[in-house]
Structures are given as structure tokens and as C-alpha cells.
Chain A
Amino acid sequence: MITAGVDVGTRYVKVCVVRDGRILGADVRELAGVFGDVVRASENAALDEAGLLGVQVRRKAVTGFGAAAAARLVRRAPHFLSREVPVLDEGVCAARAVTELVPGARTVIDAGALFVRSLALTPDGRITDRAVTEKCAAGSGRFLEMIAASLRVPQEEVSDVVATAANPYRMSNSCAVFAESEVISRVNLGVPGPDLLAGILVAIAEKALTLATRAEAAPPVVVVGGLGHMPSFLRVLGDVLGQQVSVVPMDPQLAAAYGAALLAAEPVVARTRSRGA
């Protein structure tokens, strides 16, 4: 069965078209401009890559911060067969992707643009506990983006720049806005940019440590989400957690969309009525 998963995050839209667990087509694009246009464009791009038409997708599920809005959109312009689009929890989707690709994983750390999420799993992949960052952006990918922009470091160079840090600066603010001011103060006091960026990665990793400890998470730890692209983050996270961490063996940013597509094929989810209208 061909299914699709749409993950509408706070910064990016991710779409995965899947048949029997195999990704046929996928797309990741920045959520900038008109919401509906971006989501549709992303869906179409994933379908094009898969060489499919929308009607060939039997089931679809949406997840992410903007999932409810995306579900409403699909119902209004149904170019997929099913007009009932279940809205799924991001954590459940991420965990589903991890259990598919890394059987036996006990902890999933989802480090995305706005939230960092820690999920504790049983050996057979059921979620036993979870913890998510609180109301603000501190400890998220967006936080890193803000600081990188303040330091004029392009996003794709952050990991390499952090690798040159000699003495990571310890951030003392838990609020991203205040942390940005703190960074500017420290730049003026002569703290090198790489040390500040490394400090941000440590701050995010420490958030993940807090959440993983709260959720009583165990090894092995698998990372999903956009920050999984960053080798420096994985290294810092491993240091902070005091254990080896691995990244999910796919584009980590697509993991939740992939998990949503997998879940869309499952009978329980297929019976779920859409919500969030």
C-alpha cells in the first residue's frame, strides 16, 4: 500500500511517500510564504520524485506543529483518495520511524526547530515516557539559527565552525531572547564565535539531557530531527549524555514524516478520524 506522511514543523515541511516501508519520494522545504502553497508544493514534489499521482496514495497522515491546519487544507482540496486525514503526534511518529529502522532503540531524541523531545521506549518500541521542552525556543534548532545569524555564520557551516571551538562558552540563560543578548555581550567582551556556538550546542544538548533524565531514558539513544544533520551536535550530545548516540539511518529531518506514513498504513490509525478541524 502506498501511504504518505506530512510533517508540518515550525520551520520546515517534510513529506514522505512510502510503499511497504520503503521511501519512494520525499521533500523537505522551508515553511516560508503562503502556508497552503508550501504544503501543496512539498506534497507535489514528493509525489513527483516517487513518480506517482496523488490519487495513487491510499492513505495519508499529518503530524507536526501545523498538522491540524494541514489536515484542514487537505480536506478542502482533496487530491488524495482519502478525505479523512488522521493528525498524529510528532513523538509517536518519530518513535515509529526509529523502531522501523533501529530495532531495539530505547531512547529517541527529536531535536527540531522549536522543540526538543525525549522518548523512552520499551525494547519492542512502545513509548513508556516522554518529555518535551517548555514554552520557549531555548534549546531548539531555531535557537541555534538565531545565534548563528547573530554571529553571521551560515547554517551549513555551523558544525565545522563548532569543531574549531577551544573553550565552549557556558550559556547561563534559559531564554532564547535573553541568550541572544548574552551572546552579543560576550562577543563585545571578546569571546570567540566558535566558542559561543559550541556553547549553544552544549545548551541544547543539556536540554536533551534534562528531558532524557526526566523520561528515565536508557541507551541506545537515536537522534532524529534537523539537528541530527550536525555531526558536532551529535558529538556534544554524546559527551553530555555520557553515552554513544547515533542518528537514525535516513535523513533525520524526515523521520517524523516517514513515521507518519508508516502509521497511516496501520489499521488502528487508518480507522482514526481526522481531528483538529
Chain B
Amino acid sequence: MSVFSELRRLAEAPHNDYLAAAARAGRPVVGAFCTYVPEELVHAAGAVPYRMRAVGSSGTALGDTYFSSANCSFVRRVMDQGLRGAFDFLAGIVFMNGCDHNRRLFDNWRHANPATGFSHMLFVPHAGSPACLAQYRLELDKLARVLRERLGVEVTDDRLRASIALYDRRRRLLRELAGLRRAPEPPVTGTEFLALMLAVTAVPPEDAVELIERALEEARAGRAPAGTPKLRIFVTGSCLEELSHLELVESHGAVVVADAVCLGARTFDRDVGDAGDPMDALARRYLARVSCPRMMDDVKGRMAYTIDAVRAYAADAVILEKLEFCSMMSGENYIAGHELAKAGIPSLALTRELYGGEVGQLKTRIQAFYEKVGNRS
């Protein structure tokens, strides 16, 4: 069986055999809500970091008891899943102040108190200045203390260095696989890559490395699942976990060749390295890698990253994704649309609900956009 089929299976369920095996071996699983939560730190505390997701969600009926319909569908669906017991395998969750919706998710989670162990909020500064870096470093120390108190494992420098080395390896392998998508016939579609990202952030990193190596092996063997795409697409956004949505984007002969999303470049951009104090290095990497729109001092950096990546991956167009009611992506997409236009890169801003069913409208807009881009060349 192709490893990509296995990855798809792992991507489509909130829990999997790897996590069950880790639990049997006595390793707790700790959820993390954002790419600004250093997985290395959680791993060094003896736990398996697990990227929180709404995969498998069937609705928001219980989530809506805490949120209104003007909240983003990610938090409403995750809350719903939590209240239904989908995350009862967790020993704790590290929340992050990514946006107001996420902050309220933390408040509501503590109030509802589902059986998901401890809840900790990692406060990440909204900029990358030296003062912010120092503050973030203090927050990481606090997280390490919380993990020690909750899991009983001291995060020593040696343990942290070992975890950093493992995660750097995972990042290098992911970058290598992502790099293969530069080829005229990409060996991995955007949907397959997203499935891989969902899978490798839901299994112990040791298993993740093995899965990525198998994927790389298959990719290097000359597979070309979509042949030569008619259009090469770059995708930006924040929360994007619906395989069906990327399948829609990749219909009509287009293939996603690169991205700047949470379950993508933001996860594997830039290594931590092994120089100096590991906690300092960790803090530096997380505030220096390709940023998220929540970071207020790096708009230019994000625009430059997108334009460089569009050129490096020979992308024909950019799709700017956002979830309904995401104010950060609204502002970001407005700026990005203008900046991309100045660079001569066509873009389409798509707004959707997570696992929403607006297939007809989205399909029409995507088809019209592809037709417009196709007519340019």
C-alpha cells in the first residue's frame, strides 16, 4: 500500500494507532493549538505533541453552546469535538493567544472542563523585537515548569537538545519533500501534502520521521499523481485542514505546489539548530520563522516570502484562504491582494467555513479564476 494512502487514513481521524501505542507505552499526549507552541518542549517533557484539529467533526451543536455563529468555525468545531469526548486521550492542552477566538476557546474550555487534562495558555508576543523575544523565552520557561508539574518530567538541556535534533530532522525531511514539488510534474499534490502534514502532527515524531522518509522514497521514485498541471497554485492562509477543500482547489487541472499555511511552511520553515542554549535557540526559531498574520511587525516579511516562493515554485497564481470571521486574515488578504497585484501575480481571496458545504459557490469562483489566469498566458 502506498504510504500516501496510509497518510490519508491518519489525516482523516482525530485519533490513530500510533497514539494508542504511545499511550500503551506510557507516553502522554499533549495537544497544541498553534505553530507557535514549540513541539520540542512538549516532546522533551516526555509527551507526544499533538496538533489540535477539527478533523472528524460532525457539526457545532455543542460548540455553539459556548460560541456564537460570529465566531470562527475552527474554534466552534474544536470545542464541539472536545465536548463530545474526541480529545479525551489527551493529558493536557497548550493553548495559544493566536487571536480573540482562540483566547475565548481557552476560557470556554476551562469552564466546560472536558476530560482533556490540564489547560495552559502560552502567551506569545505579537512581534519579534528583542524585548518580545526575551518575553517569549520567559513564557517557554513557564511552559517547561507547567509540563514538569503536570507530567513529572524535567525538561533538561540534554533532553531538549535531543528533541530539537529530532524535530529539525523532521523539518529537513518535510522541506526536502516540499522542494520536490518544484518539479514540472510535482510528485505530491497539495492534498497529499496536507494529508501528510495532518498525519505527521498527530503521531509521535519518531514515527513521523519514518512516514516522511517513506513518502520521500515514493516521491523520488518518479510518481506524478496529477501529471503536468495546467496551473500551479500557491496557497496562503491560516487554518486549513480540509482535504476536500484542497481537492476542490486542485480540480480542473490545477495543483497546489507550495503554501504559507499553519499545516505547511510555518511548521517546517527554518531549523532550531544545535548552537548555544537550547531554550534560547528554540525561542529564536519560533519568532524568526515565516510568521503568521497575528505577528504585527512582519507584513513585509510575509509578502516577501510569498512572492519569493511563488517564483521559486513557478506558481501561476495565489489563493488567499480565510475562514469566515477571521479578522487577521481579512486584513492580511487585503494587503496580500494589492502586493501580489503589484508583483504581477494574480490572486483570489476565498472565504469559507471550516468543513463548510459551499462547494457550488467555491467551485464557480475557482473555475472563473483559473479561466482568467489561463487566459493571461
Contacts and interface: CB of A to CB of B under 8 A. Distances in A.
Decide whether A and B assemble into one complex. yes
Interface of A: 134-136, 138, 170-175, 178, 181-182, 184-186, 188-189, 206-207, 209-210, 213-214, 240
A170 B357 CA distance: 9
Contacts of A174: 60, 69, 353
Given A206-B61, A213-B61, 19 more contacts: A134-B69, A138-B69, A172-B357, A173-B356, A178-B358, A178-B361, A181-B358, A182-B356, A182-B360, A185-B357, A185-B359, A188-B360, A189-B359, A207-B64, A210-B60, A210-B61, A210-B62, A210-B64, A240-B61
Interface string B46-66: 000000000000111110110
Contacts of B359: 182, 185, 189
A176 to B, nearest CB: 11
Given A182-B360, A185-B359, A185-B360, A172 B65 contact: no
B360 A184 contact: yes
- The size class of the interface chain B forms with chain A is 10 to 19
Nearest to A172: B357
B77 to A, nearest CB: 10
B370 interface: no
B65 A210 contact: yes
B106 interface: no
B61 A209 contact: yes
A93 B360 CA distance: 42
A175 B356 CA distance: 11
Where chain B touches its partner, the secondary structure class is: loop
Given A209-B61, A210-B61, A172 B356 contact: yes
A236 B145 CA distance: 48
Nearest to A207: B61
Nearest to A188: B360
- Leading 8 A-B pairs by shortest Cβ distance: A185-B360, A206-B61, A172-B357, A182-B357, A210-B64, A213-B65, A214-B65, A209-B61
Nearest to B70: A134
B361 A181 contact: yes
Contacts of A171: 357
28 contacts: A134-B69, A138-B69, A170-B59, A172-B59, A172-B355, A172-B356, A174-B60, A174-B69, A174-B353, A175-B69, A178-B361, A181-B361, A182-B356, A182-B359, A182-B360, A184-B360, A185-B359, A186-B357, A188-B360, A189-B359, A206-B59, A206-B61, A207-B61, A209-B62, A210-B60, A210-B62, A210-B65, A214-B65
B85 to A, nearest CB: 14
Nearest to A214: B65
B260 to A, nearest CB: 26
Nearest to A179: B357
Interface in B55-92: 58-62, 64-65, 68-69
Contacts, number: 58
Interface string B330-359: 000000000000000000000001011111
B59 A173 contact: no
Contacts of A170: 58-59
- From B59, B361, B363, residue with most partner A Cβ within 10 Å: B59
B83 to A, nearest CB: 9
A97 to B, nearest CB: 26
A173 B60 CA distance: 10
Contacts of B58: 170
B274 to A, nearest CB: 46
A178 B324 CA distance: 13
A175 B62 CA distance: 17
A72 to B, nearest CB: 32
Contacts of A184: 360
Contacts of A175: 69
A228 B61 CA distance: 20
B248 to A, nearest CB: 11
Contacts of A182: 356-360
B298 to A, nearest CB: 33
A267 B69 CA distance: 40
Contacts of B357: 171-173, 182, 185-186
Contacts of A135: 69
A161 B225 CA distance: 43
Contacts of B60: 174, 210
Interface in B240-265: none
Nearest to A216: B65
- From A175, A209, A210, residue with most partner B Cβ within 10 Å: A210
A171 B353 CA distance: 12
A171 B359 CA distance: 12
Interface in B133-186: none
Contacts of B355: 172
B129 to A, nearest CB: 40
A96 to B, nearest CB: 26
Contacts of A136: 69
A181 B62 contact: no
A122 B357 CA distance: 40
